[in-house]
Amino acid sequence: MALEAEIKIPVNDLETVIKRLKQEGFQETEVCREEDTYFNSPYYDMKEKDKALRIRRSRNMQTGEEWAQLNCKGAKLDQISMARKELETEIREPEIIEGILKELGFEPLSIQVIKTRRTLSNGEITAAADRVEGLGEFLELEIIAERENQREECLEKISRILRAIGYKMEQTVRTSYLSMLFGKRA
């Protein structure tokens, strides 16, 4: 099981952020449109447990290739970042997986998270430059660690990149896009 050491920060000018990341050695790898459908159940409340269960449908904007994933994210592991355990697998038929989840008592939430994501990488760190419908622009930086004891080291590497592009860890947010969208609705 992988550990996702991740931060999220709202940004005002995504193009400038991408330019700065490239100056720090990041290379753009793809541009995708992602549609996330989240699930919850009265028998297992994902929000109450600070977890997430979703089906993500993706389309590469350059090649037209489409794919889907089933993701289960564990509870956040600290009070600073979005670090959490994550299980994910590619799925060929998301409609069938959605049907299975419904049979088990999970229902899709009323809000979907839809975004255009430009992905960049410097080998170890993945940067997601996101334009989220209804929310605005964000940068996510993440490192996938194999063990929990690597989390602090990973977050320090992420902090160094943030400082290099003109941001600080104190500016990050721990709220998911889904929670932000529900907050705007309320």
Per-residue pLDDT tens digits for 100-149: 999 999 999 999 999 999 999 998 999 999 999 999 999 999 998 877 77
Q: Which residues of the chain have pLDDT under 70?
A: 1
CA distances in angstroms from 108 to 24, 54, 58, 91, 152, listed in the order given: 39, 9, 17, 17, 34
- pLDDT confidence of residue 1: 60
pLDDT at 86: 87
Q: Which amino acid type is present at position 119?
A: T
Q: Which of 4, 44, 8 is nearest to 128 (CA)?
A: 8
Task: Give the residue numbers annotated as catalytic, written as ranges.
Answer: 38
For residue 169, the Cα-to-chain-centroid distance in whole angstroms is 17
This prediction's pTM:
0.90
Nearest to 39 by CA among 128, 92, 99, 115: 99
Question: Could you give the 3-state DSSP secondary structure of residue 142?
Answer: strand
Spatial separation of the C-alpha atoms in residues 147 and 85, rounded to whole Å: 10
**CB-based contacts of 10, cutoff 8 Å, min separation 6:** 136, 137, 138, 171, 173
Residue whose C-alpha is closest to residue 155's, from 81, 100, 63 = 81
Element (H or E) spanning 6, and its range?
strand 2-10
Of the candidates 118, 123, 159, the one whose C-alpha atom is nearest the C-alpha of residue 6 is 159
Model pLDDT, residue 118: 98
Strand partners, 73: 52, 86
pLDDT score recorded for residue 185: 82
DSSP state of 140: E
Angle CA 24–30–32, to nearest 5: 130
